[in-house]
């Protein structure tokens, strides 16, 4: 009886991309397309079609250029850096606090 051998991908660090964008970036494009679809309902004329189709299609090459050479998950980390509170160093002195939190009893 012969041994059946199947090829296994050993490179787990390979990026999964579609049109040179990660799947997380494609979620950003789809979310922008949904928002532009709603916004285009309030605008009339040819600007409506541009908002609905042109803006999401224009974002794809802009994201490709913006993310060129950046590490994996860069867009998510950038969003987290702007939205979450910053704690740069736990040892650094606070510039805004001038009085002590705990008063020493004498």
Q: What are the extents of the domains in the chain?
A: 18-83
Mean residue pLDDT of the chain comes to 83
- Output the pLDDT for position 93: 66
Q: How far is CA 81 from the centre of its chain?
A: 10
Residue 61 has pLDDT above 80, yes or no: yes
Residue corresponding to tokens 């160093």: 89
Q: pTM of the predicted model, to two decimals?
A: 0.63
Structure-block tokens of residue 6? 């199947």
Supply the pLDDT for residue 53: 92
Asked if residue 83 has pLDDT above 80, the reply is: yes
Q: Tokens standing for 78?
A: 């950038």
Q: Which string of b and e fits 11-33 if b means at least 16 CB within 10 Å? A: eeeeeeeeeebbeebeebbeeee
pLDDT in tens, 9-40: 777 777 778 877 888 888 889 999 999 999 99
For the chain, state the CA radius of gyration: 24
């Amino acid at each position: 009886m012969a041994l059946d051998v199947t090829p296994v991908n050993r490179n787990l660090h390979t990026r999964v991309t579609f049109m040179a964008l990660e799947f997380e970036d494609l979620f950003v494009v789809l979310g922008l397309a949904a928002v532009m679809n709603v916004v285009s309902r309030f605008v009339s004329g040819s600007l409506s079609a541009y908002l609905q189709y042109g803006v999401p299609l224009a974002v794809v090459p802009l994201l490709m250029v913006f993310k060129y050479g950046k590490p994996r998950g860069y867009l998510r980390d950038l969003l987290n850096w702007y939205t979450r509170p910053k704690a740069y160093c736990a040892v650094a002195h606070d510039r805004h606090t001038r009085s002590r939190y705990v008063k020493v009893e004498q």
